Amino acid sequence: MYRTGIGFDVHKLIEDRLLIIGGVQIPHPTGLLGHSDADVLVHAVMDAILGALALGDIGMHFPDTDLKNHKADSLELLSHVRYLAEEKGYLCANIDSIIMAEKPKMSTHIMEMRKNLASTLRIKMEQVSIKATTTERLGLIGREEGIAAQAIVLLNSIT
């Protein structure tokens, strides 16, 4: 049996924050505002997995009102989501995702992001696709006010 899920996340860019996407610290004068490390890519993947399992969203599992989630490493949160999937009898068969950012360019970081997601989810890199695009200077992303990510996952039953 298969299940699919879609995830989306967006965070505002601000000064005095690290920019972490896909578990990679990317050199940039601004970073993403959020309760955790604000990793939009990992958050989108987590929401996609949770959605495929009909388990709600990351806000239900990791509320910003819980101090233990303050400055949390999103890859560690993803590891917990992987555990929830395994507990329900599912593994990630495939992830396709896209990062939407005007700047910085993501191309030199995508391989490391793929490695991080694959390692955390205990799958092969060939099962993880990450693409990047701009919004041609349109909207909040085009004005460099924020960065967004979207992901779709396919889960496969292990039972």
- Domain containing residue 98: CATH number: 3.30.1330.50
Q: Give percent above pLDDT 70 in the chain.
A: 100
pLDDT of 15 over the 80 cut: yes
pLDDT of 97 over the 90 cut: yes
Average pLDDT over residues 111-138: 97
Q: What is the pLDDT of residues 128-153, one digit of tens each?
A: 999 999 999 999 999 999 999 999 99
What rounded mean pLDDT belongs to the chain? 96
Q: What is the pLDDT of residues 49-95, one digit of tens each?
A: 999 999 999 999 998 888 887 889 999 999 999 999 999 999 999 99
Closest CA to 94 of 55, 126, 142, 135: 126
Both tokens of 81, joined, read 């989501």
10 Å Cβ neighbour count for 105? 11
Average pLDDT over residues 104-118: 97
Domain range for 78:
2-157
Tell me what pLDDT residue 148 has: 98
User: How would you classify the pairing of strands 90-100 and 128-133?
Assistant: parallel
Tell me what pLDDT residue 65 has: 86
User: How would you classify the pairing of strands 24-25 and 146-157?
Assistant: unpaired
Please return the burial class of 135, using the count of CB atoms within 10 Å of its CB with bins 0-12, 13-18 and 19+. Answer: middle
pLDDT of 17 over the 90 cut: yes
How many structural domains comprise the chain?
1
Tell me what pLDDT residue 159 has: 76
